[in-house]
Chains A and B, each alone.
Chain A
Amino acid sequence: MSESLLERSSARSSEHEQLLQVQDLKTYFPTPRGLVKAVDGVSFELERGKTLGIVGESGSGKSVLSRSIMRLLPRKTELHGQVMFDGRDLTNMKQAELRDVWGAEIAMVFQDPMTSLNPVMRIGPQITESIRHHLGVNKAEARETAIALLTSVGIPEPIRRLKEYPHQLSGGMRQRVTIAIALACGPRLLIADEPTTALDVTVQAQILDLLKVQQSERFMGMILVTHDLGVVAGRTDDIAVMYAGKIVEQAPTDELFADVKMPYTEALLQSIPRLSNHSHTRLQSIKGRPPDLVNLPKGCRFAARCPYVQDKCLAEEPPLIPITGKPDHLYRCWFPVGTAAGEAALESNRAAGKIDHEIDPAAAGEIIA
């Protein structure tokens, strides 16, 4: 086992290696109503030491995507496509082989630390369990490692904490423990699925900082799944925006915020209440809701809610294409934001009175005194 540790530290030296390559991944759930296409053709790559943010609303498929990479899926799920991790395809691995990958090479941090920890087991064994399984060390060594881990994730009095149960810890402390468990075997890829959604804003900042520090110290690849664009804005290298099972826009973080192309991303950004706005600023909401994943519309999946929508959008699905001259900024739209075609589409919809605001059109965009 010390061999594998050696291997891992030597792997650290080679930079810019592709750690994860997801190719046309499709996750379909058969249900009595029909096939739910939760993830429908997603491709992306992640280098070591980089952080990818996956953003979307509930039901956009972001969590299923992260579970599909791990293959933590119900048995009857239809999974198509490729997930290449370190040159191996995770989609056709046997369960026994996957068990050597889970925890040891890819680890996950979940949203609710109370339900992801075992409530009737002390903290100590929950951390040492995977260390002893994957690294084959003895009890005392595992305990030492656990103490070092708890210290590194900022838990005071780690020796006392080892003997405590999850209910004795606060939400933030519990999430630190799950991060310690995830980091225990030195994974190369960390998937954090809404790691701070259940936490307070002050604790959220602490946990996000902790993840960032651990990620750069350990030179891991990290996927940060969240619904909060604020969380990914300052802490990721790239962002993929998901809508109804597909990536609709993907770009380096600064590029995405500076030059939004997809109307959905624009709408999402506009609907966030911002501290810089005056109180009682009318929020731009997105009308309607996401499409039914069983009966997906024929054209663009956002068309029904899109202020830029044209006939073409309802008939043909736009491909995920790069901006000319910026190969790493991909978007999926016929009438992208900020282009002549997009402006013309928006203008024609405005002229036709198709852009409605809910309930009270007079108050739209105005400050109500």
Chain B
Amino acid sequence: MAGIGTAHLRDGSLLRVEHMHVEFPVGGGRKVNAVTDVSIDVMEGETLGLVGESGCGKSTTGRAIMQLPHPTSGKVIFEGRDITSLSTEELRELRPKLQMIFQDPISSLNPRRKVKDIVSEPLSIWGKKLGSSNGPERVRQVMEDVGLDAEQVGDRRPHEFSGGQCQRISIARSLVLDPKLIICDEPVSALDVSVQAQILNLLEDMKTRYGLTLVFIAHDLAVVKNISDRVAVMYLGRVCEVAGADTLYNRPTHPYTAALLASIPEPDPSVKPNAGGLKGELPSPISPPSGCRFRTRCPNAQARCAEEIPVMREIEREHFVACHFPVDAPVAPSESQLLAAQPV
């Protein structure tokens, strides 16, 4: 899995990430290949789900899009501009359009500040430049929109609220500047299932109301399916499979996607837990396997998988997979076949 290539990218996207690499030095000249040659894109008004196990690079991808940290190489094109080459000041000017919501709602809010100050701070930083006149009214409106009573809540501090309420405050803070794109990094994984449903519904509502584009990062495949239009599955720093949410879940073709789906415990006793599932552990991103990075755990792995990095290809309309030997799909043409097929 874990392939390269840009066959799945579309024209006219709001955000386009091309061949992005993120590496972290770990001393001794070694480096962690957190994100390797990842290409993804999001159309305006779309929700892209990024899913994978811990350590697959999904959060790093989200952060690198925000330029926190800057990617080691590759392009991040937002509204037609490559933002990796912007100066600090230019990037700062762009920030109001790009917002982020984090996993732990309680630690992402300053415990000493009042809720109304937390929500209005982006405005007080940007208020003058963006020319928005009635700040307090805007704050009140956003808080009402996310289901908080501005009168009651404004003067309290984060510790007085539950996790779900804190996540609402975080969402209000990210919405107050009217952003184009919000990157949601595991926004519901710290919440109870009943509250999770509230927040997912809220994100859907806010997306419609504020005309948002979302990148939704999560490890829970059912949650990702629920909220996404398109889903990209990542493994060990690479993208394996990209498809529309319903397509991906109905017809997973990458062996990794299939294994992930099979491991989910269904809340239904008549569905017997899958005995097979994935064997083994995630290899080290310091020295990832050659060729396809999933081959060490893959039931379909063959010699070719160790030699050749699979390239993203379309196996049906709007369904892309980076695998030599996908499930229920034709084997990838080998390099020699590709060369032969090329018009001279």
Contact = CB atoms under 8 A, between A and B. Distances in A.
Interface stretch (A34-42, A138-146, A270-278): A270-278
Given A273-B222, A277-B225, 10 more contacts: A58-B192, A172-B281, A201-B53, A205-B274, A233-B271, A234-B266, A273-B226, A279-B245, A280-B204, A282-B201
A79 interface: no
A234 B270 CA distance: 7
Nearest to A254: B269
Contact of B226 (A172, A283, A286, A360): A283
A202 B260 CA distance: 6
Contacts of A254: 269-270
A170 interface: yes
Contacts, number: 155
B315 interface: no
Interface of A: 57-58, 170-173, 200-206, 208-209, 227-231, 233-235, 253-254, 257, 267-269, 271-275, 277-287, 289, 358-360, 363, 368
B36 interface: no
Q: How large, as a class, is the contact surface on chain B?
A: 35 or more
Contacts of A279: 225-229, 244-246
B147 A170 contact: no
Contact of A230 (B192, B228, B246, B266): B266
Interface of B: 53-54, 145, 147, 162-164, 192-198, 200-202, 204-205, 208, 219-223, 225-229, 244-246, 249, 259-261, 263-275, 277-278, 281-282
A17 B249 CA distance: 45
B267 A275 contact: no
Q: Which 3 A-B pairs have the closest CB atoms?
A: A279-B245, A230-B265, A285-B197
A157 to B, nearest CB: 13
Interface of A is mostly: loop
A283 B200 contact: yes
Contacts of A200: 53-54, 219
A206 B277 contact: yes
A294 to B, nearest CB: 15
A201 B221 contact: yes
A11 B278 CA distance: 36
Given A202-B53, A205-B274, A360-B205, A281 B265 contact: no
Given A273-B226, A279-B228, A280-B226, A234 B282 contact: no
